[in-house]
Structure 1
Amino acid sequence: MPELPEVETVKRTLNELVTGKRIERVTVSLPRIIQRPQEHEQFGDALVGHTIEHIDRRGKFLIFRLDGLVLVSHLRMEGRYGVYRSEEPVEKHTHVIFHFEDGTELRYKDVRQFGTMHLFNAGDEEVLAPLHKLGIEPMNPSFTADALYEALRKRRSAIKPVLLNQHIVVGLGNIYVDEALFTARIHPLQSADSLTREQVERLYHAIVSTLKEAIDAGGSSIKSYVNGQGEMGMFQQQLKVYGQQGQACTNCGTMIEKSVVGGRGTHTCRVCQPQY
């Protein structure tokens, strides 16, 4: 599943490709992707004649801001967007097409068919699902070590599943939680409420630096992720623990181990991340 760096990269590339384009019509071939309104025909009809003004991101969600409307899109496992000329063949598993007046199309392709789209009147997206209960945005100035400490200190669960909880901190998935915990020298099974302020300070800086480095590298292409221009990310070449089981730790040389924490494959160094 694309995490914050991948969605941020898609956001940036789509802003370059579709900002200012006016929608002529919308084709929906898989209605269940459209979660709001209930009738997918209403979704297409409402968007006709509207212009994409800007694209934002909230956690793992893309937010298309149009004149008076807001489209919230979640890529889920393998959703991807691409811009094409209208005469180009439509690829298999393309489920939603936004036809623009200039003869180009924004196409949404999703092999796994788990992606979702919600359409709102501007302003309603902040108070209704799926955005209304999201947690702290780690790339926002409001995300500080103190804010992270307050969010964690009443959570008795292991720190890894807590960080994966989108109601607490948004945008983090399996890859970047493993990487941040390794950088912060924290074992993923340590309970969130037992973290000291010094540990949380390390974790805060690890989350921010890991995400920034991943964004600079265009995200991680572990499976099928590409950005809005069809380009792969390169951060997978910088991963220190995720997917590195059996390889030597870059800090101490100990073999990276893989286990299961909270139902998720988890990668650690038992020396650099001792379990208390």
Structure 2
Amino acid sequence: MPEMPEVEVIRRILEPQLKDKQITDVEILNKQVIAYPDENIFAELLTKQTIRSMSRRGKYLTIHFDNGDSLALHLRMTGQLLVMPQDMPVEKHTHLLVTLSDEMQIRYIDVRRFGRFWYLKSDEADTLTGQDKLGTEPLDDALTPSYLKYKLAKRKKTIKEMLHDQSIVAGIGNIYSDEILFAAGIYPETKCTDLEDSDWNRLSAKIKEVIAWGVDVNKMTPEEYLAGKGKEYRNIPYLRVYGRLGQHCGDCGTIIEKITIGGRSSCFCPVCQKKL
């Protein structure tokens, strides 16, 4: 699943291509990806809208229109959001085609079909997408050691699990939680109740550092993004523990290990992230 850094990169690539374009046609190939409203009303509302901007909140993207309406979407596990010439062949697993006034097309491709779209009118409160329940952004000034301690210090779950809680910090998933905990030197199965002030200080700093790194390392041109079909990210070769089971830690040389926490795998260095 793309996490906050990848979704932010997608926004930065697509927004300039979409800004000021009018939607001339909408073709829904699989109504399953349309969460709200029903597919017929969705297509009717979307047609003839002019795109003003694009924003991101956590792992969500939102396209804003001139009339104040908006289109929110979540890519989930395998969603790909592309802008390409409308005469290009339509690939298998394409579920939505949105034609623009410059004869380009927004295409949504999703093998597992978990991604969702919501069309919200300007006078509708967003109680549907889940964005109203999101916690602070990883790079926001509100993310401080005090904030994390206040939200988590009394929780008996592991810090690995709680980094995935989108109501605490929005946008962190399995990849970046591994990388953050390694950078902070915290064993992933440590209970939040066992963390000390020094841990909260390091964790707050490393969340910002690792997420900012993720945005930077994933930078690419629109041409590179389209060539990779919106699913080839640049961070993989540089990850320090995630997906490195059996390899040597780059800091100390110890073999990277893996455990399962809350149904999710977690890679870590047993020396750099000592168990309490």
Scaled by the length of structure 1, the TM-score of the pair is 0.93
Structure 2 residue 244 is matched with structure 1 residue 244: yes
Cα distance in 1 between the residues matched to 2:51 and 2:234: 29
Aligned to 1:121: 121
Q: Contact 2:72/2:129 (CA < 8 Å) preserved in 1?
A: no
Aligned to 1:148: 148
| C-alpha displacement of 1:208 | 0.8
Q: Deviations over 1:29-75 (max 9, x none)?
A: 110111111x1010010011111111111111111111221111000
Give the direction of change, closer, same or farther, for the CA distance of 1:57–1:229 in structure 2 (3 Å limit): farther
Aligned to 2:48: 49
Percentage of pairs with the same residue: 38
Q: Contact 1:13/1:228 (CA < 8 Å) preserved in 2?
A: no
Q: Deviations over 1:242-274 (max 9, x none)?
A: 111111111211110011111111101111111
Q: Deviations over 1:162-197 (max 9, x none)?
A: 111112111000000000001101111111122111
Specify every segment of 5 or more residues in structure 1 that has no aligned partner in the other structure, as ranges.
221-225
Aligned to 2:164: 164
Q: Contact 1:95/1:109 (CA < 8 Å) preserved in 2?
A: yes
Q: Deviations over 1:86-111 (max 9, x none)?
A: 22221111101111122111111111
Per the alignment, in what secondary structure is the counterpart of residue 265 of structure 1? strand
Q: Contact 1:163/1:169 (CA < 8 Å) preserved in 2?
A: yes
| C-alpha displacement of 1:205 | 1.1
**After superposition, where does 1:45-124 map in structure 2 within 5 Å?**
45-67=44-66, 68-122=68-122, 124=124
Aligned to 2:17: 17
Cα distance in 2 between the residues matched to 1:171 and 1:80: 17
Letter in 2 for 1:129: T
Q: Contact 1:26/1:48 (CA < 8 Å) preserved in 2?
A: yes
Cα distance in 1 between the residues matched to 2:31 and 2:128: 21
Specify every segment of 5 or more residues in structure 2 that has no aligned partner in the other structure, as ranges.
none
Cα distance in 2 between the residues matched to 1:127 and 1:227: 32
Q: Contact 1:29/1:96 (CA < 8 Å) preserved in 2?
A: yes
Give the direction of change, closer, same or farther, for the CA distance of 1:75–1:23 in structure 2 (3 Å limit): same
Per the alignment, in what secondary structure is the counterpart of residue 132 of structure 1? helix
| C-alpha displacement of 1:228 | 5.7
Q: Contact 1:14/1:228 (CA < 8 Å) preserved in 2?
A: no
Letter in 2 for 1:205: A
Scaled by the length of structure 2, the TM-score of the pair is 0.93
Letter in 2 for 1:44: A
Aligned to 1:253: 253
Q: Deviations over 1:224-248 (max 9, x none)?
A: xx84664632211211111111111
Count of matched residue pairs: 270
Cα distance in 2 between the residues matched to 1:16 and 1:111: 26
**After superposition, where does 1:174-185 map in structure 2 within 5 Å?**
174-185=174-185
